Chain A
Amino acid sequence: MEADVTAMSTDLVIRVQGLGVRFRRNRRGRRSLKDLFSDSSRRSKPGEFWALRGVSFDVRPGESIGVVGRNGQGKSTLLKLVAGVLIQDEGVVAVNGGVAPLIEITGGFVGDLTVRENVRLTAGLHGMPKAEVARRFDGIIAFAELEDFLDTPYKHLSNGMKVRLAFAVVSQLEEPILLVDEVLAVGDKAFREKCYRRIDELLAEGRTLFFVSHNERDLRRFCARGLYLDKGRLVLDAPIADVLDRYNADYNAG
């Protein structure tokens, strides 16, 4: 990430400009040592496609943004770029402040470590001091309803439990930006309600929310603004209702 943060006026938390990232179409494409030495940005090679290109938008603190689009149109890629776990091929992503990402269905936890160790590790990697982790630990476990599984290796948890733990940890991080990528669809109804209440709390505290979902009701409930991605382009940046109408007109018509 080109840390262009200084150039960003202080009333923005995220600034994205001319963002583009490309992937190889087939996983094991031919690579040569030449790739190593040639400056590969900006040129498009055969067998590569732009997952996102020419995307620009600004986000102010406290905004809640829903990202809409069909599968494979770059929604998750956009979140990963904002989270800083992918690096763009062109353009700028400037993020002012930390990001609490819930972008992997598994929360990015380590299978061999126990629930307890995973919580400490993830919270610690987000800069939470040991004492703070200890203070919040019981709250996190209570939220995830995993009191009986503290010493169970993460890989032995059910999918529902994994998502519960992931959300519990990520929503406790004191980062100003929260990214949520469709993962909530896995949890059961009672837990989803709990998550929604927590998201409401976080929004009330003034956090910025980036929300990817296919659930129209959720999008309307949390988001004021919508980004509509189609074929790697930002087609529409407008109030969520307009974005959803346009999306429905494009794909759900008839």
Chain B
Amino acid sequence: MTTAAVGAPGSPRRYLHSLWLLSARDLKVRYATSALGYLWSVLDPLVMSAIYWFVFTQIFQRTVGHEPYIVFLITALLPWVWFNSAVSDFTRAFSKDARLVRSTSIPRSIWVNRIVLSKGIEFLCSLPVLALFVVLSQFSETPAQVGWGLLWLPVAVVLQAVLLVGLGLLVAPLCVLWSDLERTTKLILRALFYASPVIYGVSDLPGIFETLAAFNPLAGIFALYRVGFFPGEWDPWVVGIGAVMSFAFLGLGILVFRRLERSVLKEL
């Protein structure tokens, strides 16, 4: 039957078509069901930044991070929100759309990847907030420096996407099979926030922790986001290990996903 269809089933073109349809739907649902729409994707990091800025510069005498601290915070908080919201959605990647998964034979990894994509688009849409604070800081005593390191930003985005896809392929099927994991993941995420260099930089960590932190792939990724404004954040060791760890997670994710796909479909 020759008809107008977007690529053959199983072709990359069909994959992207389906991926885009589902991601666009996620975004539409998010923005259509709330009056504030776009504001929600920036409100969360903004409120968090305001809190940390107040706590660490007004209450405590801050000894970590760099000036201007608000820019230092936001460069990591915005990608953290992407990471956090994507991973929490992974726990329900299949169960939320169980009916659709049960009746549509698209490649199953799309159910994970559409979360990475739609949350990633929200992240990109929140970047103007960072630009705003960089501009505002020009009128303060400690203006943010903008350097060539900014060119690392796209690399950071790609690396974070790789890490997220890997984690999603790992977390999403496991959460279907072991329902306890949904809460465990939320708990781990909360701990991970403080274990990742968001409110501090890797170089602020004492002794052995500085070395250990490199094995958290987020450390390298956040360093890449920051290096455009804070050249001192550049650390080949942290970034290198971060990249290796991200791809390792991707490999592990693909492996586990293949193994569990069959059981997941039976369980839905």
Report A's interface with B, CB cutoff 8 A: 3, 21, 23-24, 31, 35-36, 80, 83-87, 89, 97-99, 101, 103-104, 106-110, 112-113, 117, 121-122, 124-129, 131-132, 174-176
B186 at interface (Cβ–Cβ under 8 A)? Answer: no
Q: Do B21 and A121 touch across chains, with their CB atoms under 8 A apart?
A: yes
Q: Do B102 and A124 touch across chains, with their CB atoms under 8 A apart?
A: no
B190 at interface (Cβ–Cβ under 8 A)? Answer: no
- What 18 additional pairs, Cβ within 8 angstroms, besides A31-B177, A99-B105, A101-B105? A3-B10, A35-B263, A36-B260, A85-B101, A85-B102, A86-B265, A101-B103, A104-B102, A106-B99, A107-B103, A108-B104, A109-B100, A110-B100, A121-B21, A125-B22, A126-B5, A126-B104, A127-B5
Q: Do B1 and A174 touch across chains, with their CB atoms under 8 A apart?
A: yes
Q: Do B4 and A104 touch across chains, with their CB atoms under 8 A apart?
A: no
B154 at interface (Cβ–Cβ under 8 A)? Answer: no
Q: Which chain B residues numbered 157 to 201 have a C-beta less than 8 Å away from chain A?
A: 177-178
B256 at interface (Cβ–Cβ under 8 A)? Answer: yes
Smallest Cβ-Cβ distance to B18: which chain A residue: A125
Smallest Cβ-Cβ distance to A3: which chain B residue: B10
B232 at interface (Cβ–Cβ under 8 A)? Answer: no
Residues of A with C-beta under 8 A to B3: 174
B241 at interface (Cβ–Cβ under 8 A)? Answer: no
CA of A230 to CA of B1 in the docked complex: distance in angstroms? Answer: 34
B25 at interface (Cβ–Cβ under 8 A)? Answer: yes
> A85 touches which one: B97, B105, B177, B178 (CB < 8 A)?
B105
CA of A35 to CA of B6 in the docked complex: distance in angstroms? Answer: 38
B259 at interface (Cβ–Cβ under 8 A)? Answer: yes
Residues of B with C-beta under 8 A to A125: 18, 21-22, 100, 104, 106
A-B residue pairs in contact (CB < 8 Å), sample of 13: A31-B178, A35-B263, A36-B259, A83-B103, A84-B105, A85-B101, A86-B266, A108-B103, A124-B17, A125-B18, A127-B5, A131-B4, A174-B5
Smallest Cβ-Cβ distance to A22: which chain B residue: B266
> A127 touches which one: B7, B29, B259 (CB < 8 A)?
B7
B261 at interface (Cβ–Cβ under 8 A)? Answer: yes
CA of A21 to CA of B263 in the docked complex: distance in angstroms? Answer: 11
Using known A-B contacts A36-B256, A85-B265, determine if residue A129 contacts B103 with beta carbons closer than 8 Å.
no
